[in-house]
A and B are shown apart, each in its own frame.
Chain A
């Protein structure tokens, strides 16, 4: 393991090599947004991945830009499962922070993008069956969200 996490530039280089259909825009030296298409099974989704140097622990934020997310009200997993900010600008939650499954020492191209494809594939079947087959967990209602934002 390297002493420092991957830099934004290193993440950009790896994304360009692995997922060339994604374009990137450097918001600053410390922040980047990638946009590109993913087609897990049925539909093509326009995806935005935002990453900043202060997301080294909390992870990149992956949003579906289009088509608009379809919701299933009253579903046991929530109207849109496994996201943060469900009711306002939701973004995917692709790993359990308590399990330390991701950090800035991981490449977004090898983790976040494949996991977003997993999420979209599960989402498509969830829309058809109402059941999320990809596993995972939701924190209890009274629990705290275990990520870096809670410790500031």
Chain B
């Protein structure tokens, strides 16, 4: 099974994904793709623009429009994103 298939099926720990992808596609494009996707996702979460699927998936506007993550209304959860502030114990 290829690395890409393993990623799609959720069988890899995310911490291992960057190096596996770099071996396939090279350092620069993979680093940039991950960085930009992370920032886009985080920005949408901070603004409360995200949506969800019934299976607990997250949908951000750009990703939904640009990829196969676009889901039908039936698959979308009946809740919308809202702004909140992550907190926690002191670092």
Q: Which of A5-13, A49-57, A109-117 forms contacts with chain B?
A: A109-117
- Chain B positions 34-91 with a Cβ under 8 Å from a chain A Cβ: 34-35, 37-39, 41-43, 45-46, 50, 52, 54-58, 77-79, 81-82, 84-91
User: What residues on A are CB-neighbors of B90 within 8 Å?
Assistant: 138-141, 143
- Chain A positions 63-97 with a Cβ under 8 Å from a chain B Cβ: 67, 70, 72, 76-78, 81-86, 93-97
- Chain A positions 5-53 with a Cβ under 8 Å from a chain B Cβ: 18-21, 36-44
Residue in A20, A72, A95, A125 whose CB lies within 8 Å of B37: A125
Minimum CB–CB distance from B13 to chain A (whole Å) comes to 6
B24 within 8 A of A: no
User: What residues on A are CB-neighbors of B13 within 8 Å?
Assistant: 43, 67, 70, 127
User: What residues on B are CB-neighbors of A36 within 8 Å?
Assistant: 56
Counting chain B residues whose Cβ lies within 8 A of the other chain, the interface size class is 35 or more
Closest residue on chain A to residue B91 by CB atoms: A78
User: What residues on A are CB-neighbors of B12 within 8 Å?
Assistant: 42
A101→B82 CA distance, assembly (Å)? 10
User: What residues on B are CB-neighbors of A132 within 8 Å?
Assistant: 42, 86
A3 within 8 A of B: no
**Contact: A119 with B41, CB < 8 Å?**
no
A34→B87 CA distance, assembly (Å)? 22
Minimum CB–CB distance from A9 to chain B (whole Å) comes to 20
**Contact: B41 with A122, CB < 8 Å?**
yes
Q: Which residues of B contact A (CB under 8 A)?
A: 7, 10, 12-15, 17-18, 34-35, 37-39, 41-43, 45-46, 50, 52, 54-58, 77-79, 81-82, 84-91
Q: Which residues of A contact B (CB under 8 A)?
A: 18-21, 36-44, 67, 70, 72, 76-78, 81-86, 93-97, 99, 101-102, 109-111, 113-115, 117-119, 121-125, 127-129, 131-141, 143, 145
